[in-house]
Chain A
Amino acid sequence: MERITTDQAQAALDRATAARGRVAAEVGLPRGYWWGLAAGWVVLGALGDVGPSWLATTATVAFGVGHSVVATRLLDGRRRTAKLQVSAAVAGHRTAPIVVGMLLVLVALTVGIALALHADGARHVGTWSGLFVGAIVGFGGPEILRVLRARLGR
């Protein structure tokens, strides 16, 4: 009868851990979520510059409500792809607070950039700061979330 050595058992455990790690890497939000968020960022920034205040306010509220609806479904991080659904145990419960925290930091960054541009005498500060942060969200959102989850999500 075959006997299992310590090394063989360790190798088998490593295989199981690697498989779980591959699944854990699937936790996140769909690419479309990030581009939608980026587009909203740019539009709100531009409206703040060129639109009437009532329109900017209405758009901000609408964006907040829309994002809440989408986020309610997506923020557990288990629907990044349609090919699998990560178990709740593997996904953990920290994805949502990490995303919310990340968004708050990005809002603060947007305001900070706008204030800096304003102090420098630039025009359309909302548009430029929205474009800058929107680019960060659209191009780097998934990667930023992945890094934050790796550092904070355990």
Chain B
Amino acid sequence: MTVARFDDLIHPATRLSLVATLAAVDWAEFAYLKEGLGLSDSALSKQLTTLEDAGYVITERRLDGSRHKLRARLSDAGRDAFEGHVAALQEIVDGAGSSLQVAQSRRDDTSI
């Protein structure tokens, strides 16, 4: 069962779209993500690095002909974080969790 948990790292719009895309695929190539999200090479690289540093994304370079292509996929931790974040957002929309409660849970997380 998914535990609702707001995730500050995932929440920014671009990163949320990126993680949501990766949550729907087994893997995706850098070129697809760049085109689909309308990002520059550097912007996408930066977002992937941030998520990879957090353990949410795994990237790998594969040789395709004479060119290396970067693939990205969501780690188990990243998938759990995304599903928890979506559940937290849904709770807010449903009124089950108020904005105050979200803020409180985040404060609790940081105090642990």
Contact A23 B93 (CB under 8 A): no
Q: Which bucket holds chain B's interface residue count?
A: 20 to 34
Stretch at the interface among A3-11, A102-110, A116-124, A146-154: A3-11
Q: Which B residues touch A24, using CB under 8 A? A: 24
Within 8 A of A (CB), among B18-47: 18, 20-21, 23-29, 31-32, 36
Q: Whole-angstrom distance from the CB of A22 to the nearest CB of chain B? A: 6
Q: Which B residues touch A65, using CB under 8 A? A: none
Question: Contacts A85-B25, A87-B24, A87-B26 hold; do A12 and B31 have CB atoms under 8 A apart?
Answer: no
Interface residue SS majority, chain A: helix
Complex Cα spacing A4 to B98, Å: 8
A contacts with B, residue count (CB < 8 A): 29
Contact A1 B17 (CB under 8 A): no
Tell me, yes or no, whether B58 is within 8 Å of chain A by CB.
Answer: no
Q: Which A residues touch B23, using CB under 8 A? A: 20, 87
Tell me, yes or no, whether A18 is within 8 Å of chain B by CB.
Answer: yes
Q: Whole-angstrom distance from the CB of B4 to the nearest CB of chain A? A: 11
Closest 8 CB pairs of A and B: A19-B20, A23-B24, A9-B92, A16-B20, A84-B28, A83-B32, A3-B99, A85-B26
Residues of B bordering A, CB below 8 Å: 6, 11, 13, 16-18, 20-21, 23-29, 31-32, 36, 86, 89-90, 92-93, 95, 99-100, 102-103, 106-107
Residues of A bordering B, CB below 8 Å: 1-6, 9-10, 12-13, 15-20, 22-24, 78, 81-87, 89-90
